[in-house]
Amino acid sequence: MNAQSRRFRAVDFLYLCIMILPLICAMALKVCFSVSGEGVQIAGAQIYFTIPMPLMDMPFTEAQVNSWMVIISVWGLCLFMTHGLKVKADTRRQHLAEWCVTMCKKLVNENMGEFFAGYTPFIGAIMAISLFSSLMSLLGLFAPTSDLNVVAGWAILVFALITAAKCRCGPLLYMKSFCEPIPVMLPMNIISELATPISMAFRHYGNVMSGAVISVLISSALSSLSRMVLGWLPGVLGDIPFLRVGIPAVLSIYFDVFSGCLQAFIFAMLTMLYVSGGFPMEEYLRRKAADKQPAKKQSVRLFE
Amino acid sequence: MELALGIILGCCALGAGIAMIAGIGPGIGEGNAVAKACEAIGRQPEAKGQVTSTMIMGCAIAETTGLYALVIAILLIFVAPSSFANVLKEAIK
């Protein structure tokens, strides 16, 4: 019993390491590669290294590396939460894990319906990665969601999912849906179809990025203000930006925590609405019924 | 050369400022949406959860035009000046 519990603890420790080490790794990389400089720095993701490729050099940026770190970290979190599950929940982490899964199922059931219950893991995954990517800025790291490329990748993935759902009754019906309500609307429909991933990517990126830019601007403004007001203090005291302490943290509650959670929720919600709205439910049910009917007749005949 | 660079920088900044006029639209739109949601909650307090989540969705979609403007403004400030300056240098050569 004792050995088993020791093993349990060791595995627990391993999972915690998987969870925390990537974040420390990302911090170390940032410290190693950071360019020291004075004043306001509003820049995109840093390029760590580039790999020469035939068509174009492939840059590995901070955003890419951080998003991989988030993926590994969320994986570790999931392993940790589901470690040692019992039929009757008695640990805190199992209660939390069950609550998360129940919430995801409820959300998908409410917004998409019973039929789409298979999408629950995808929705949960996209919500988790979006949430933790945005919250990464709380650790002082570059949030992967404030890089357009990362979010655009997710948006393209979701767009493929939406198109797959629309093509469920054959590509012909999908093509026909562009000519509705009248064929003249064809270019409009194509544009609005293409606008879906672009607007999803821009919405997420724009919200997180604008928060980051405003935070940097306000903190730099506060430091110059404190130099103006408190600059007369003697020695080192005059150089410390006192006004910069605390005030940007209050703003960070809105821009990082609230906005990050809201954008994760909205991204998942829009995915659900687009997928369930694009699915040709009536046609699918009609075909299913039509498929079943001949089979029924045959069986009846066999019986006779 | 200096004059041309100055015009490029100034016009990029002006353009970014003008682009953000688009922020007016989403502001009015979201304000209307929230006002109507408040009315709806006042009329039917039991439907608060549904009304709130629908309102947040609507706000997110109404925000899109403003965010397009924001992205354009950010591009104009951080990306456009250097690329335009490069174009200018190429042209002068």
pLDDT in the model for residue A278: 85
- In 3D space, the residue among A12, A19, A20 whose CA is nearest the CA of residue A91 turns out to be A12
Rounded to a whole number of angstroms, the distance from the CA of A129 to the nearest CA of chain B is 19
Asked whether B59 and B32 are in contact (CB, 8 A), the reply is no
Tell me which chain A residues have a C-beta less than 8 angstroms from the C-beta of B70: 206, 210
Tell me which chain A residues have a C-beta less than 8 angstroms from the C-beta of B68: 202, 206
Amino acid at A123: I
pLDDT in the model for residue A304: 46
The secondary structure of residue A34, as a DSSP letter, is: P
List CB contacts of A248: < 8 A, sequence separation 6 or more.
A215, A218, A219, A222
The half-sphere exposure of A48 on its side-chain side, counting CA atoms within 13 A, is: 15
For residue A146 the two structure tokens come to 């404030």
Alpha-carbon distance values, A29 to A35, A57, A140, A297, B5 (Å): 12, 21, 12, 68, 36
pLDDT in the model for residue A295: 58
Note whether A262 contacts B: Cβ–Cβ < 8 A: yes
Tell me which chain A residues have a C-beta less than 8 angstroms from the C-beta of B60: 203, 262, 266, 270
**Residuewise pLDDT in 10s, chain A (304 residues):** 566 788 888 988 999 999 899 899 888 888 887 766 555 566 667 788 788 888 888 888 888 889 999 999 999 999 998 888 888 878 888 999 999 999 999 999 988 888 888 899 999 999 999 999 999 888 888 888 888 889 999 999 999 999 999 888 888 888 888 887 888 888 888 898 898 999 999 999 988 888 888 888 888 888 888 888 877 777 677 677 777 777 888 888 888 899 889 899 999 999 998 898 888 888 888 888 888 776 555 555 545 4
Tell me which chain B residues have a C-beta less than 8 angstroms from the C-beta of A199: 64
Which residue in the set A44, A203, A273 is minimally distant from B67, CB to CB?
A203
Which residue in the set B57, B71, B78 is minimally distant from A206, CB to CB?
B71
Separation between Cα atoms, residue A224 and residue A228, nearest integer Å? 6
Separation between Cα atoms, residue A40 and residue A241, nearest integer Å? 14
Task: Please state the separation of Cα B5 from the chain's center in Å.
Answer: 26
**Inter-chain contact A202–B71, Cβ cutoff 8 Å?**
yes
Tell me which chain B residues have a C-beta less than 8 angstroms from the C-beta of A270: 57, 60
Separation between Cα atoms, residue A260 and residue A145, nearest integer Å? 9
Nearest CA in chain A to B74: A210
DSSP letter string over A50-92? Answer: EE--SSS-EEEEHHHHHHHHHHHHHHHHHHHHTTT--SS--SH
Strand-pairing partners, residue A61, are A47
**Inter-chain contact B64–A202, Cβ cutoff 8 Å?**
yes
The two beta strands, A47-51 and A58-61, are antiparallel
Tell me which chain A residues have a C-beta less than 8 angstroms from the C-beta of B78: 42, 44
pLDDT in the model for residue B71: 86
Q: ipTM of the assembly?
A: 0.79
Tell me which chain A residues have a C-beta less than 8 angstroms from the C-beta of B63: 203, 207
For residue A126 the two structure tokens come to 């996209």
**Inter-chain contact B60–A209, Cβ cutoff 8 Å?**
no
pLDDT at B88 > cutoff 50 = yes
Element (H, E) at A48: strand A47-51
Taking only residues 218 to 257 of chain A, the set having a beta carbon closer than 8 angstroms to any beta carbon of chain B reads none
Rounded to a whole number of angstroms, the distance from the CA of A13 to the nearest CA of chain B is 39
pLDDT in the model for residue B29: 93
Separation between Cα atoms, residue A276 and residue A279, nearest integer Å? 5
pLDDT tens digit string along B18-58? 999 999 999 999 999 999 999 999 999 998 888 988 898 88
Nearest CA in chain A to B63: A203
**Would you say the C-alpha torsion A65, A70, A73, A79 has a positive or negative sign?**
negative
Asked whether A282 and A144 are in contact (CB, 8 A), the reply is no
Note whether A210 contacts B: Cβ–Cβ < 8 A: yes
Note whether A196 contacts B: Cβ–Cβ < 8 A: no
Rounded to a whole number of angstroms, the distance from the CA of B53 to the nearest CA of chain A is 10
Domains in chain B, ordered, with CATH? 19-92 (1.20.20.10)
Rounded to the nearest 10 degrees, the angle between the axes of helix B24-43 and helix B48-74 is 180
Give the burial class of A199: count Cβ atoms within 10 A of its Cβ; 0-12 exposed, 13-18 middle, 19 or more buried. Answer: buried
Taking only residues 38 to 67 of chain B, the set having a beta carbon closer than 8 angstroms to any beta carbon of chain A reads 53, 56-57, 60, 63-64, 67
Q: How many helices (H) and strands (E) does chain B have?
A: 4, 0
Label residue B15 by pLDDT band (50, 70, 90).
Answer: very high
* Chain A, chain B: beta-carbon pairs less than 8 Å apart: 33
pLDDT in the model for residue A133: 92
Separation between Cα atoms, residue A48 and residue A34, nearest integer Å? 10
Asked whether B67 and A207 are in contact (CB, 8 A), the reply is yes
- Residue A50, phi then psi, degrees to nearest 5: -120, 145
Rounded to a whole number of angstroms, the distance from the CA of B19 to the nearest CA of chain A is 14
List CB contacts of A181: < 8 A, sequence separation 6 or more.
none
Rounded to a whole number of angstroms, the distance from the CA of A236 to the nearest CA of chain B is 34
Q: Is residue A277 helix, strand or coil? A: helix
Separation between Cα atoms, residue B9 and residue B85, nearest integer Å? 9
Separation between Cα atoms, residue B74 and residue A205, nearest integer Å? 12
